[in-house]
């Protein structure tokens, strides 16, 4: 607890017992097994630095997609004991001590909003193919827009990444996610059937946490802060190097040695 009485928490969810998924391959399970203790240490160290508690929860489900909703619903559980809440995917590693609680307004929903360009995927629109997949961010942004269209709105071509999400108790109440889950599931399914987007894309749509959170923010004009890439610096196969401007590294490819090996080498100098 801070001197002003504000209680803060950073939390994550993790289990290595996840059903087969592109984000739960054998390689990624091995990487988590190897580096999980070091990740927990980094989370704890950062929490201590910024004056927050840290808790690592084990999800109730083994289904990857359900776990992604568990992390958002966990905000409603934690708001009873904490004023400000920060979620980190377990593959997110804080590498600087800058206090995120002091940088952003937690009276808004804070996350990285990704602009999803259609240019690289234009070819897919022209033919019926099987190249789309459920994790494609452009496809997720189309799913969100399709849901908004059913409400008479159009929306923008963006979609949140929920690897880092933050808000305070008041915003958790405004979001009111749990009470809307059944209606959101129905709307998500309807959007896949009644849409302007090609079937080759829409047949891959699922009830997705990033789509849903993005939809709710736009639909209800909820206060939102885009934390930008530095606070959710996505490390995948298109990002070969760690940026000096990053605060949180999000190891989507799970190649944690890129940071931990470099960090150990620096300490030995």
Q: Of 121 and 152, which is predicted with more confidence?
A: 152
pLDDT in tens, 150-204: 999 988 999 999 999 999 999 999 999 999 999 999 999 999 999 888 888 899 9
The answer to whether residue 124 scores a pLDDT higher than 60 is no
Residue 137 within a domain: yes
Residue 46 within a domain: yes
Strands 109-115 and 158-168 come out as: antiparallel
The answer to whether residue 95 scores a pLDDT higher than 70 is yes
Sole residue written with tokens 């009470």: 179
pLDDT band for position 265 (cuts 50, 70, 90): very low
What would you report as the CA-atom Rg of the chain, rounded to the nearest whole angstrom? 19
The answer to whether residue 120 scores a pLDDT higher than 60 is no
> Could you tell me if 86 and 162 are in contact, meaning their C-beta atoms sit under 8 angstroms apart?
no
Residue 177 within a domain: yes
Residue 22 within a domain: yes
Q: Of 198 and 128, which is predicted with more confidence?
A: 198
Residue 232 within a domain: yes
pLDDT in tens, 28-81: 999 999 999 999 999 999 999 999 999 999 999 999 999 999 999 999 999 999
Residue 197 within a domain: yes
CATH number at residue 258: 3.90.550
Query: Any idea which of 61-75, 111-125, 232-246 has the lowest mean pLDDT?
Result: 111-125
Residue 36 within a domain: yes
pLDDT of residue 266: 47
pLDDT in tens, 202-215: 999 999 999 999 99
Tally of domains within the chain: 1
Per the structure, the complete domain to which residue 35 belongs is given by 8-262
> Could you tell me if 112 and 229 are in contact, meaning their C-beta atoms sit under 8 angstroms apart?
yes
For range 141-157, the mean pLDDT = 94
Residue 78 within a domain: yes
pLDDT of residue 118: 64
Strands 109-115 and 92-94 come out as: unpaired
Q: 3-class SS at 267? A: helix
């Amino acid at each position: 607890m801070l001197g002003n009485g504000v209680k803060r928490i950073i939390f994550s969810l993790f289990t290595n017992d996840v059903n087969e998924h592109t984000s739960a391959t054998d390689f990624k399970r091995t990487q988590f097994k190897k580096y999980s203790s070091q990740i927990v240490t980094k989370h704890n160290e950062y929490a201590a630095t910024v004056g927050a508690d840290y808790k690592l929860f084990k999800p109730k489900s083994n289904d990857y997609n359900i776990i992604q909703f568990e992390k958002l619903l966990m905000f409603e559980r934690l708001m009873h004991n904490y004023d400000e809440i920060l979620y980190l995917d377990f593959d997110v590693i804080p590498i600087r001590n800058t206090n995120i609680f002091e940088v952003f307004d937690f009276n808004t929903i804070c996350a990285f909003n990704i602009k999803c360009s259609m240019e690289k995927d234009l070819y897919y629109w022209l033919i019926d193919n099987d190249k789309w997949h459920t994790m494609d961010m452009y496809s997720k942004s189309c799913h969100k827009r399709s849901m908004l269209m059913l409400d008479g709105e159009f929306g923008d071509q963006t979609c949140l990444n929920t690897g880092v999400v933050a808000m305070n108790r008041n915003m958790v109440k405004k979001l009111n996610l749990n009470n809307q889950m059944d209606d959101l599931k129905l709307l998500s399914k309807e959007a896949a059937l009644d849409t302007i987007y090609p079937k080759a894309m829409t047949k891959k749509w699922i009830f997705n946490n990033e789509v849903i959170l993005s939809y709710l923010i736009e639909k209800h004009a909820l206060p939102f802060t885009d934390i930008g890439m530095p606070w959710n610096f996505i490390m995948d196969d298109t990002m070969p190097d760690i940026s000096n401007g990053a605060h949180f590294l999000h190891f989507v490819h799970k190649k944690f040695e890129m940071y931990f090996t470099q960090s150990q080498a620096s300490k030995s100098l």
